[in-house]
């Protein structure tokens, strides 16, 4: 109305001037001779505005309906998502299990991972990990000496890689059950603070006698006291999803772990007992003699994994954290009756910039020390090592150049190995 009034005030003088030139009566006669047009009055204005408001309200209602539909299909308020992408490029000269010479063949590899965590009560958690990867098989999956800590080759397929549910039983007891889980995710205490820069063999103070695993059906209980003591019992079954085998049957490949640990702010001591039937999970950190044929369900192993670590109160000094591991094993139904191995891992943190890390690890893959009657032990002295430096250009990116190698790592046919890899991890 204000605009209309202003417009009329401008038109009035112009019309007065025009009447001196134009015959208004003739214009009126022409107008009357034409078909009568619609007139803009207050009623028309109100009707038009009402129609526009109705149309706008309809559009808002439609937008709200679509928003509600999106929210209904979205994540719940208690679901969180994080993940990472890993790029690796490197080369290996000789790989333990294949004996293939990879000298001067540079390969590139990747992993993409998404982690979903959902709580239903505030104290429980449903964990789902989705993962895809490719390129690792060419150089970085030979056990024990080239298997990369991030290796996952799915041929680019995006799969459910892990899924389990954790819930409290009492204030200090937690239960875990899942169709896809490794035993070490259910431990009551962390057996090592050494972070591998290249090789999975050095994970958990030696990814061997007790902690080596493949994804399988698992159940576990853990008890964590207020005074630093903790205990856990876990069971894993490869045949649980098979109707012809079943969960912990005579035909099943399974393992049971029992851990007792004490952890303080700066140190840790633990012993883990492991009983396995037809499962050579220790192949991540063992020689050919120990791994070969151990996947038969007639083979049984009993092992003890001793772990300890210590870390200084302050980082950025010349004093590193120290992680130690020692494994001893005994077998029935195998050509080997006794075996053992060890690991030493050192980490220096915050040396040149915040959140950087220097790592050095050495170890002897689990090797036979005693054979069954009629079997001659191989004359090898296995040894494995890695050196790396990791740094963060920012909070979400970590870059890790590393070199690794060893002698007699698997058997005498492939006695030496050397590799170099640059791994870049993007976290989100």
114-152 pLDDT tens trace? 999 999 999 999 999 999 999 998 889 989 999 999 999
The tens place of each residue's pLDDT in the chain, 428 residues long, gives 333 444 434 334 434 433 343 343 333 343 334 444 444 454 554 555 566 666 666 666 665 555 555 454 556 778 999 999 999 999 998 765 544 445 568 999 999 999 999 999 999 999 999 999 999 988 899 899 999 999 999 999 999 999 999 999 999 999 999 999 999 999 999 999 999 999 999 999 999 889 987 899 999 999 999 999 999 999 999 989 888 888 888 889 899 999 999 999 999 999 999 999 988 888 899 999 998 877 788 899 999 999 999 999 999 999 999 999 999 999 999 999 999 999 999 999 999 999 999 999 999 999 999 998 888 888 889 999 999 999 999 999 999 999 999 999 988 766 689 999 999 999 99
Angle at 214 between CA 168 and CA 253, to 5 degrees: 95
In order of 293, 294, 295, 338, 377, the CA distances from 374 in angstroms are 16, 18, 21, 15, 10
Q: Which fold has domain 80-427?
A: Porin (2.40.160)
For residue 281, the 8-state DSSP code is G
* DSSP-derived secondary structure for 8-53: HHHHHHHHHHHHTTS-HHHHHHHHHHSPPPPP--HHHHHHHHHHHH
Nearest of 382, 257, 255, 270 to residue 326 by alpha carbon? 270
Q: What is the CA radius of gyration of the chain?
A: 35
In order of 159, 295, 345, 382, the CA distances from 291 in angstroms are 28, 8, 24, 14
Structure tokens at 133: 């990867």
Q: How far apart are CA 365 and CA 384, in angstroms?
A: 7
* Structural domain boundaries in the chain: 43-74, 80-427
Q: How far apart are CA 424 and CA 428, in angstroms?
A: 13
């Amino acid at each position: 109305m204000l605009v209309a009034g202003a417009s009329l005030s401008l038109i009035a003088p112009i019309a007065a001037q025009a009447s001196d030139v134009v015959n208004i009566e003739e214009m009126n006669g022409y107008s009357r001779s034409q078909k009568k047009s619609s007139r803009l009055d207050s009623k028309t204005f109100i009707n038009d505005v009402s129609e526009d408001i109705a149309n706008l309200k309809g559009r808002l209602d439609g937008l709200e309906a679509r928003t509600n539909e999106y929210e209904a299909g979205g994540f719940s308020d208690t679901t969180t998502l994080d993940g990472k992408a890993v790029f690796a490029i490197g080369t290996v000269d000789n790989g333990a299990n294949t004996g293939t010479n990879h000298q001067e063949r540079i390969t590139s590899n990747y992993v993409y991972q998404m982690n979903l965590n959902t709580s239903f009560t505030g104290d429980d958690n449903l964990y789902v990990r989705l993962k895809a990867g490719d390129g690792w098989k060419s150089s970085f999956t030979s056990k024990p000496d080239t298997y990369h800590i991030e290796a996952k080759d799915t041929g680019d397929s995006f799969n459910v890689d892990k899924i389990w549910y954790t819930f409290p039983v009492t204030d200090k007891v937690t239960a875990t059950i899942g169709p896809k889980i490794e035993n070490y995710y259910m431990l009551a205490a962390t057996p090592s603070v050494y972070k591998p820069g290249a090789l999975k063999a050095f994970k958990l103070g030696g990814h061997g006698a007790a902690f080596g695993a493949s994804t399988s059906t698992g159940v576990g209980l853990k008890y964590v006291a207020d005074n630093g003591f903790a205990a856990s019992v876990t069971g894993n079954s490869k045949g649980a999803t098979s109707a012809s085998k079943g969960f912990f049957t005579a035909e099943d490949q399974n393992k049971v772990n029992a851990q007792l640990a004490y952890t303080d702010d700066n140190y840790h001591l633990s012993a883990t007992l492991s009983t396995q039937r037809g499962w050579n999970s220790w192949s991540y950190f063992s020689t050919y003699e120990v791994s070969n044929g151990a996947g038969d369900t007639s083979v049984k192993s009993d092992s003890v994994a001793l772990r300890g670590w210590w870390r200084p109160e302050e980082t950025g000094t010349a004093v590193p954290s120290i992680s130690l591991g020692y494994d001893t094993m005994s077998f029935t139904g195998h050509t080997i009756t006794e075996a053992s191995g060890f690991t030493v891992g050192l980490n220096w943190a915050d040396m040149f910039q915040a959140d950087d890390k220097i790592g050095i690890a050495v170890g002897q893959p689990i090797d036979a020390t005693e054979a069954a009657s009629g079997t001659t032990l191989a004359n090898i002295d296995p040894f494995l090592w890695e050196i790396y430096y990791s740094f963060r250009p920012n909070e979400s990116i970590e870059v890790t150049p590393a070199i690794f190698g060893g002698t007699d790592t698997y058997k005498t046919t492939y006695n030496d190995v050397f590799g170099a890899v640059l791994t870049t991890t993007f976290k989100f």
